[in-house]
Amino acid sequence: MGEHLQILVPNIHAIPKVNKSLFRIYRDARFHRLDPIKERIGIIFWQGTTHRMQSASFYMHYDPFEVFVATGIRNFKPELLATYREYIKNDVKRAALHTILEALKAKGYEIGEPKYKKFPRGFEEYVDKPHAYLAKYGSMYAFKTFKPDKAFHSTKIIEKNFKVYKDMLALHEWLYMLTLSQ
């Protein structure tokens, strides 16, 4: 998949090692009663020099019942959240993100839900501006889920995911530009 993604993003990080592109399958069970082995496998390909979880990325995870394919950043840490909020104060950047999200919804993709119910401090003057709702997000990603099928159990999964990632490329690029402004 990493080699295919280089067509879209030539400098994508696709490192087939645990804690790089592959998530660990085990968890630290000392502090909770969860099973020490995860029921799903996660894979991430990211762009940029920041930590993989704070970078624009292509992601997938799967378990016996569901395949989840996404592009974005799952959770903004405080520094990236502050950068994101400053970034979307720009009317053009905010409108561009809104347009990207609407286009993805029109293609049948889902968008992560806003994390916050209220507008953050410093956004009082933006509340009535178009697309101000974007300030309520604490992450930004689009995704698609499907059941594991024949394509999943063959090399066709690469083509299937590539189409999804190609559709979501505009969101990836918008987020990459955001991370560059940190």
H helices of the chain, in order, are 2-8, 78-87, 91-106, 156-167, 169-180
For the domain spanning 2-180, the CATH number is 3.30.930.20
pLDDT digits (tens, 9 = 90+) for 67-104: 999 999 999 999 999 999 999 999 999 999 999 999 99
pLDDT band, very low/low/confident/very high, at 35 (cuts 50, 70, 90): confident
CA distance 1 to 44: 10
- Average pLDDT over the chain reads 94
CA distance 14 to 135: 31
So where are the chain's domains?
Answer: 2-180
- Tokens for 165, please give them: 């990632």
Which pLDDT score is estimated for 80? 97
Helix H or strand E segment including 124: none
Task: With 0.75 as the threshold, say if the pTM is over it.
Answer: yes
Helix (H, G, I), strand (E, B) or coil at 135: helix
pLDDT digits (tens, 9 = 90+) for 105-139: 999 999 999 999 999 998 888 889 999 999 999 99
Which pLDDT score is estimated for 52? 94
Helix (H, G, I), strand (E, B) or coil at 154: coil
pLDDT band, very low/low/confident/very high, at 27 (cuts 50, 70, 90): confident
